[in-house]
A and B are shown apart, each in its own frame.
Chain A
Amino acid sequence: MKDGKLFSIGSVKAVKREDIPKNRSAIIRISSVALSLVFAGIVLLFFDLNPFTVFATIIEGSVGSASRVQQTIVKAIPLTIASLGILVAFKMKFWNIGGEGQIVMGALAASFVALNFGDAPRPVLLLLMAVASVVAGGIWALIPAAFKAKMGTNEVIFTLMMNYIAIKFVTYLQYGPWRDPNSKGFPKIPNFSENGLLPSLFGVHIGWVIALILTVAVYLFINYTKKGYEITVVGASIDTAGYAGMNIPSVIMTAMFISGGLCGLVGMIQASAIEKTLVYGISANYGFTAIITTWLARLNAAAVLFVCIAFAMLLQGASFIQLAMNVPAAVAGVVQGVILFFVLGSEFFIRYKVLFTRGKSGSSEGKEAR
């Protein structure tokens, strides 16, 4: 990527933009959303569905009634908190693909507390569960972080593989030592006591309050604290951070502990509020989906909240159209994919400009396509 050149195929090449005016990037983003809707519409036409009705039904299905709004919010909560966690790591250009595993380990630690100290008073128990989940998720993220900081291992592979270890370990517990002896052979861990369940506020469990508080907290942390600044600098340039005298391994480990800790908290919230016990599928892909939403939010904590709500609407609306309009699940998935493809793809055009060179390749003169 020397000289900002990304690739060059024949007479087409992509060059990094020096900087892009705000209105220009806004135009690219808006047109990408518009294009995504057009293409999704074409896909729908293929299946004999009226795209306008489908889009309207998606919105109706996600916010059209009180219970639908609640369901959308229930999906947005874990997505938002996990995205905030992923954001802290991504800000440092540490590609934490291990959100799933960190969620699972957080849920595991919270469940350990809930199952063993179920008689503790509710506020105490919930607080203990939350602390345990943050520590467990944090440690799970710290392992690859330590290897990266000390030995320069590749964190993408490392964090990804840690997911499977976590999930398989909980599967083992669920089918083995933690199985409820009263479950007639069903591989199920006992439910938490009443004290281990998160209370509800306005019809939705209080995870939504936690998500809002954390959004503000992470925003302030990244933008207004020394550690947050260090994380951003390490992400921008390790060399600069080194010259500035920062303790880079310490920054990496702190950031990853926070990243994993937030994901771990998602595990506690899902276990306590939704599952009421530990299941090996607790992460429900939120750790992976959060990567998309964090990226869409351009690593901005405030934007994360809105992107996650929008994404939750898309998830909720997609299952709604399956029912309301008899759209097969696969088609709903294709529509989601098309929209993501365009919106994420627009980032490319914001960061790079595509040049069509004439005649001999290598000529720096070219016509700008976009």
Chain B
Amino acid sequence: MKKKFLIVLLIMVLAVSMAACGNGGNDDGGGAADDNGDVSAEPLTVGFIYIGAVNDGGYTQAQHAGTMAAKDYFGDQVNTIWLEGIDDTNKQAATDAAKQMIDQGAKVIVGTSFGFGEALNEMANSGEYDDITFLHFSGSYINDTNLGNYFGAMEEPRYLSGIIAGMQTKSNKLGYVAAYPYTEVQIGINAFALGAQSVNPDAEVKVVYINSWYDPAKEKEAAEALLSQGCDVITQHADTVGPQLAAAGEGKFAIGYNLDNSAVEGLEDAFLTAPVWNHDIFLIPTIQGIIDGTWTPESYYGTMADGYVDLAPLTKNVDADAAAKVDEIMSEIKAGEFPIFTGPIKDNEGNERVAEGKTLNRAEIWETDYLVEGVTSGE
């Protein structure tokens, strides 16, 4: 009897306390928002949501390098905060992270993984966060006031890395550890395959999907499976250094992604290069625009010419003729004279996807839902 009474009492206390909080819920998020104060005195707080750890040796580390470069550039004007290891497979984790950072005074929220887009889109359009600017990496959400997105023409450096792989392979089998069978990933695989085939028509690309952006164990496992099938150059669209270490362990070559890993211990004789991001190229002018009040939502797509995407410096492991070929094509790409996807392009079921003489523009590239000829995929 006593116990029952206690339970009822506690439940009532809880209900009342929740009701109390509910009523206070709309009082402007804790009063941190004094928007008419001295603009220059108050630093702009920018909050970053990361999927991995800032020292993951890949994707998130590259994101964070951009964050830190922007922070250095702005000095006292900008305060950066971040949350790492945020799950991108459900909306709650990202919403939570964004709210936490807004609670800490963030006026700009940057979601750096595709899976965060839904949460940012919902918050930006909810009307509750009109004073917050939302930026989303790798998605397409945008509105007229406070939500923009950014990405880059990763197909350009991917194609160049394919040239190197195509010229250095002996088995003509290239291994590709990939996250998901999704457009962004397929664009990268296709660009890599086309680059390899441009110099080596016999080159085939074997893809293993791991159904995760970030999973050190699975990434390494997938690379080992590819190596055991005879692949002698391994590249990846996944976040960590795992596949590169797996390749190095077998004495094969590795092409990274996101970061220049040439200095990583154990990769000295394996690492060739990596398609990389320079996120500060986008962040610095964008944050400047937000500070100045001139920013308007855009869908940014950085290129090699902008420096937003790039190929990491080629290491000593790259043959001289491959390096020369890369140099030649790179200057054409930077000059805007070398569209990556130029017909004829067939998919791996033999259907023609791009007609002879046609080239794909950005929008058309992002309709990719196939893998090109010479690519096989499995899980």
Contacts and interface: CB of A to CB of B under 8 A. Distances in A.
A124 interface: no
Interface string B199-213: 000000000000100
Nearest to A280: B89
The 10 A-B pairs at the shortest CB distance, nearest first, are namely: A281-B89, A202-B22, A203-B25, A203-B22, A185-B183, A66-B24, A281-B90, A69-B21, A329-B85, A66-B21
If over half of B's interface residues share one DSSP class (helix, strand or loop), that class is named, otherwise mixed; here it is: helix
27 contacts: A65-B30, A68-B103, A70-B25, A75-B96, A184-B183, A186-B140, A187-B180, A202-B22, A202-B25, A204-B18, A212-B15, A270-B90, A276-B91, A280-B89, A281-B90, A284-B87, A302-B6, A302-B10, A305-B14, A319-B96, A323-B81, A323-B83, A323-B101, A328-B53, A328-B84, A329-B83, A329-B84
Report the interface size class on chain A. 35 or more
B108 to A, nearest CB: 15
Contacts of B117: 186
A279 interface: yes
B360 interface: no
A215 B4 CA distance: 12
B218 interface: no
A330 B84 CA distance: 9
B352 interface: no
A1 interface: no
Given A70-B21, A203-B25, A320 B211 contact: no
B33 to A, nearest CB: 13
Contacts of A67: 25, 29-30, 99, 103
Interface residues of B, number: 55
Contacts of A305: 10-11, 14
Contact of A319 (B6, B25, B83, B88): B83
A127 interface: no
Interface string A194-206: 0000000111100
Interface string A330-369: 1000000000000000000000000000000000000000
A66 B27 contact: yes
Interface in B94-113: 95-97, 99-101, 103-104
A155 to B, nearest CB: 26
B10 A306 contact: yes
A280 B368 CA distance: 23
If over half of A's interface residues share one DSSP class (helix, strand or loop), that class is named, otherwise mixed; here it is: helix
Interface string B167-181: 000000000000011
Given A302-B3, A305-B14, 14 more contacts: A65-B103, A66-B22, A67-B29, A75-B96, A203-B25, A212-B14, A216-B7, A216-B11, A270-B90, A274-B90, A275-B90, A275-B92, A323-B83, A330-B53
Contacts of A68: 103
A204 B29 contact: no
B99 A302 contact: no
A95 interface: no
Interface string B218-230: 0000000000000
Of B18, B24, B181, the most chain A CB neighbours within 10 A belong to: B18
B18 A175 contact: no
Interface string A146-177: 00000000000000000000000001000100
Nearest to B138: A186
Nearest to B101: A323
Contact of B21 (A187, A202, A306, A328): A202
Given A67-B30, A175-B180, A201-B22, A184 B366 contact: yes
B367 interface: yes
B73 interface: no
A66 B25 contact: yes
B220 to A, nearest CB: 20
Contact of B182 (A187, A216, A276): A187
A324 interface: yes
B11 A323 contact: no
Given A219-B7, A306-B10, A323-B81, A202 B91 contact: no
A279 B18 contact: no
A306 B21 CA distance: 18
A226 to B, nearest CB: 19
Contacts of A91: none
A135 B90 CA distance: 23
A306 B13 CA distance: 12
Contact of B92 (A201, A270, A306, A309): A270
Contacts of B81: 323
A163 B118 CA distance: 25
A319 B10 CA distance: 27
A279 B21 contact: no
Contacts of B27: 66
